[in-house]
Amino acid sequence: MKKTASEIYSECGEAFTLIGIEGKQDVEVNDIAAWENAGQGDLVVVPDEESLNAVLDKKAAVIVVPVGLAGKCAAVTDTAAIITSNNPNLGHALLKQKYGDYDYTNTGWDPVHPSAVIHKSATVASDALIGPGVVISEGANIGKGCNIMANVVIERDACIGDNVRIHPAAIIGWECQIGNDCLILSQAVLGSEGYGYAQDGKFNHYRVPQTGNVIIGDRVTIGASNTIDRGTHGPTIIGNGTIFDNLCHVAHNVKIGENCAIIAGFLCAGSTVLGDRIVASGQTMIKDHLSICSDTIFVHRAGIIKDVTEPGTYAGSPILPMKDYVVSNAIYKDLGSIRKKLMEIENEVRPFLEQMELKDL
Please confirm whether the linkage preceding 321 is cis (ω < 30° from 0).
no
Please say whether the beta carbons of 47 and 68 come within 8 A.
no
Compute the distance between CA of residue 66 and CA of residue 52 in angstroms, rounded to an integer: 10
41: which residues sit within 8 A by CB, 6+ positions away? Answer: 28, 29, 30, 31, 59, 60, 61
Compute the distance between CA of residue 118 and CA of residue 293 in angstroms, rounded to an integer: 42
Q: Strand, helix or coil at 90?
A: helix
Concatenating the DSSP letter of every residue in 233-298 gives SS-EEE-TT-EE-SS-EE-TT-EE-SS-EE-TT-EE-TT-EE-SS-EE-TT-EE-TT-EE-SSEEE
Beta-bridge mates of residue 21: 83
The count of C-alpha atoms lying within 13 angstroms of the C-alpha of 307, restricted to the half-sphere facing its C-beta, is: 7
CA nearest to 306, candidates 256, 262, 272, 282: 272
* Catalytic entry in 167, 252, 289, 300: 252
205: which residues sit within 8 A by CB, 6+ positions away? Answer: 197, 198, 199
Which H/E stretch holds residue 172? strand 171-172
Please say whether the beta carbons of 149 and 172 come within 8 A.
no
Please say whether the beta carbons of 53 and 73 come within 8 A.
no
Active-site residue, 119 included: no
250: which residues sit within 8 A by CB, 6+ positions away? Answer: 226, 227, 228, 229, 236, 238, 256, 266, 268
50: which residues sit within 8 A by CB, 6+ positions away? Answer: none
Helix runs in the chain, H state only: 5-12, 49-55, 88-99, 322-332, 335-360
Instruction: Please identify every residue annotated as catalytic.
Output: 252
